[in-house]
Each structure stands twice: as C-alpha cells, then as structure tokens.
Amino acid sequence: MASGGRPERQAPPEFFYNEDEAKKYSSNTRMIEIQSHLSERALEILKLPDQPCFVLDIGCGSGLSGESITEQGHYWVGMDISSHMLDVAVDREVEGDLILGDMGYGIPFKPGTFDGVISISALQWLCNADKKYHHPPKRLLKFFTSLYAAVARGGKAVFQFYPENSSQLELITQQAMKAGWTGGLVVDYPNSTKAKKMFLCLFAGGQPQQLPKGLGEEQSSSSHVSFTDKRERMKNMRGKNPKTNKDWILSKKERRRRQGKEVRADSKYTGRKRKDKF
C-alpha cells in the first residue's frame, strides 16, 4: 500500500489481495505493526466487557486484527473476500474461524450472534462498483442492515476505514443510520495528515451511549475562538502613547526578566512621570 495510490483504485479486493500482496501481510513488519496498532485502537473504542465475547472481524485478511482479539481473550470469526489472504491466515494458525464472503452481499449469520464487530481498513472497498451489477449505496445498505441483525442488542461495531472523499464518508454514515445504527465518527489526530485515522463507531440499539473521544483532540476540541480583550484595551488607549503606560512598562520589565536580562527592581517610581522642573 505504501507504493502510492489507493489500492481501491487498482483492482477489486479479491484480485488486489493476490498471493504477493497477501504475503506482505505476513512478512512486512511495518504493515503488521500498523495493522495491529489499528486493531488495538479499534478494540479500545469497542470496549467489550471483561467476559470472553464472540466477535466478528470484517475484512479480517491474514488475521492480524484477529490476533489482537485473541490476546484480549475473546473468540472471533473472520470474513474476507480474498481467498489468498485467508490462506495466509490459515498458515499463521490464527485462533478464529474464517469465512470467504463478500460483505456487500450481506452477513450470513443468525440474528443476535455477535457481541461486537470490528473491521480494519475494509469499509471503503464497499464504495466501489467492481462488477457491472454492483450498486454501492445498495450494497452498503444491505451490509449495514444484515450486520445490524447479526449483532446482539446493545452491541457495538467499530470500523477503521479510509474514505476517499467527504461524499464517500457521507454515503457510508447515511446508509448506516438508515439501517438503524446510531453513533458516529471518532477521529484520531484530526490535525495530522498522516496520523489521522477515522473510526466509524456504531451502536445497535440499547441505551444511548456516548462516543469515545479521538486521540490528539485536546487542542482542537475548543471549536470557538477564545475571548480576548486585546482590542478593547487598544481602543481605550487611543490617543495615548501605549509605551508610557505603567502597565506596559511593568509587563515589558517582566518580559525582559523572563529573558534573563538585567532589569531594575519595580518600585513606586516605576512608570511615573518626572516632575516638570527636572
């Protein structure tokens, strides 16, 4: 993927993730690191209870994300459209069960099966029409509707994905809401181009829940501009030389002191006018 360009633009997933591409996911340490980091973060957002849960991993690929699920003591079933990626997963002897399937055709599971769902870098593939009869909005809706059924009430689904543009993002969230899901986007590091990661966090019924906060959002969280009285102050000083003002002198002395320069101590004479006769 690092070779530039979006993989979604190159070929349908079942052809893009061929043997060579699949091999990367078991040998390229950078890819493995990114994938497992993302899945750990997704699981953190998913916040499963402490008991062992039954989780669905959509677009499980070679089972890297599944390994993080196993580490946390949960059981999982993975679904992917690329048989080569699944073969790699079998070779790696992952704990979860694997299914070859297309998420756009629906999730072939009984209602209420799963306690939670995660998906790492897969959802954006649904926005493509790779076959003549594919209709992305329909496929997305089918996917979200069948997934909604397959998840137990109060269950959560977390999708990490790379939307190509804002209209894809809008389409995905719109179809998810249409299918009955609630929730929204969690964005990690929204101000960084590279580290920015989007998570679609969806709830299937149950109590209304609060979306978790994205990472690195501290500075950006205040959407309004903080109040400053600077303009006011300048207005009041109109007509006077601001530098003869006592406050200004004191603040300048303070500034120079901070810079480690030699400054005379403040006294009652500081900033005072000299007598006329001087």
Partner 1 sequence: MKLLTHNFLTSNIIKGVKNGYPLSILPGKVEMKEVDFNPEFITRMLPKIEWSALQKAAKECGFEEGLPDTVGEEQLGDTDLLKRVHKALLEIEVVEGKLVCPESGREFPINNGIPNMLLNEDEV
Is residue 164 a contact residue for partner 1 (CB under 8 A)?
A: no
Give the Cα separation of 241 and 256 in Å (integer): 20
d(CA 137, CA 129): 10
**Residue at token pair 């509707």:** 145
Residues present in the chain in total: 278
Asked if residue 242 binds partner 1 (CB under 8 A), the reply is no
Residue 111, classed as helix, strand or coil, is: coil
> What's the Rg (C-alpha) of the chain?
28
Which of residues 58, 81, 118, 201 is near partner 1 by CB under 8 A?
A: 81
Amino acid at 29: T
Binding test (CB under 8 A) with partner 1, winner from 10, 37, 71, 100: 100
Which of 97, 139, 135 is closest to 122 using CA atoms?
139
Residues 104 and 138: their CA atoms lie apart, in Å, by 8
According to the binding rule CB under 8 A, does residue 15 interact with partner 1?
Answer: no
Q: Does 113 bind partner 1 (CB under 8 A)?
A: yes
Q: Give yes or no for residue 86 binding partner 1 (CB under 8 A).
A: yes
In contact, 157 and 117? CB cutoff 8 Å:
yes
Q: Does residue 75 bind partner 1 (CB under 8 A)?
A: yes
The CB-of-112 to partner 1 minimum distance in angstroms stands at 7
Cβ-based nearer residue to partner 1, 113 or 245: 113
What mask, x for binding partner 1 by CB under 8 A, covers residues 186 to 225? ----------------------------------------
Give the binding site for partner 1 (CB under 8 A): 51-54, 75, 77, 81, 83, 86-87, 90, 97-102, 105-110, 112-113, 131, 133, 146
